[in-house]
């Protein structure tokens, strides 16, 4: 049997295959129920209704079974809500390398800055970007285009 946290953390996001659910910040906890010995994994979806979550739940159970922990339970918690702040530095770098604009960290102190101000082109870094479609290659991403280099890119939706 191998470490259940390691097994769960190695699961990649089914839509953005370059990043793990740990790097994306949706893996909240991996615990072993002392009574039953079952592994309980807690995840927080990136946004409510993301269809990828069913795939992620199945992938976690499969990874844990392969690591010697059958019958793992995956719990979904919505509070506190996932925020793009939870994406790790390594995760942000991977998203940028894959041409996906990582959402900027939310500003501290309660001032809400519209996300559109923070979307930079992942290829040339230009802030001159525009949203083309609310839905990109998947429901969790929006399609944007850079006005400087004219390249379209996916932008992860932030809450």
**Stretches 12-20, 53-61, 91-99, 121-129: which one binds Zn ion (CB under 5 A)?**
121-129
146 binds Zn ion (CB under 5 A): yes
The two tokens of residue 22 are 């740990």
Residue 149 contacts by C-beta under 8 Å, 6 or more apart in sequence?
Answer: 121, 123, 124, 126
β-pairing, 129-133 with 141-146? antiparallel
Distance between CA atoms of residues 17 and 36, nearest Å: 33
Residues 55-114 that bind Zn ion (CB under 5 A): none
β-pairing, 39-43 with 152-156? unpaired
Compare residues 87 and 121 and give the one whose CB is closer to Zn ion. 121
Please select the residue that binds Zn ion; options are 51, 124, 134, 159, rule is CB under 5 A: 124
123 binds Zn ion (CB under 5 A): yes
Please select the residue that binds Zn ion; options are 81, 90, 149, 159, rule is CB under 5 A: 149
Please select the residue that binds Zn ion; options are 126, 130, 137, 159, rule is CB under 5 A: 126
Q: Is 126 helix (H, G, I), strand (E, B) or coil?
A: coil
Write out the H or E segment, with its range, that includes residue 154: strand 152-156
43 binds Zn ion (CB under 5 A): no
Where does this chain bind Zn ion (CB under 5 A)?
121, 123-124, 126, 146, 148-149
């Amino acid at each position: 049997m191998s470490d259940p946290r390691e097994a769960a953390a190695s699961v990649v996001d089914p839509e953005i295959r370059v990043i793990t659910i740990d790097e994306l910040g949706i893996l909240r906890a991996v615990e072993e129920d002392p009574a039953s010995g079952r592994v309980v994994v807690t995840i927080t979806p990136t946004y409510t209704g993301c269809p990828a979550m069913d795939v992620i739940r199945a992938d976690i159970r499969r990874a844990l079974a392969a690591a010697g922990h059958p019958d793992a339970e995956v719990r979904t918690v919505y509070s506190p809500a996932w925020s793009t702040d939870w994406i790790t530095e390594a995760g942000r770098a991977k998203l940028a390398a894959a041409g996906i604009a990582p959402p900027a960290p939310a500003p501290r102190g309660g001032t809400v800055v519209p996300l559109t101000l923070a979307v930079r082109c992942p290829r040339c870094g230009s802030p001159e970007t525009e949203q083309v479609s609310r839905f990109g290659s998947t429901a969790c991403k929006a399609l944007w285009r850079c006005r400087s280099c004219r390249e379209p890119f996916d932008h992860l939706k932030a809450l």
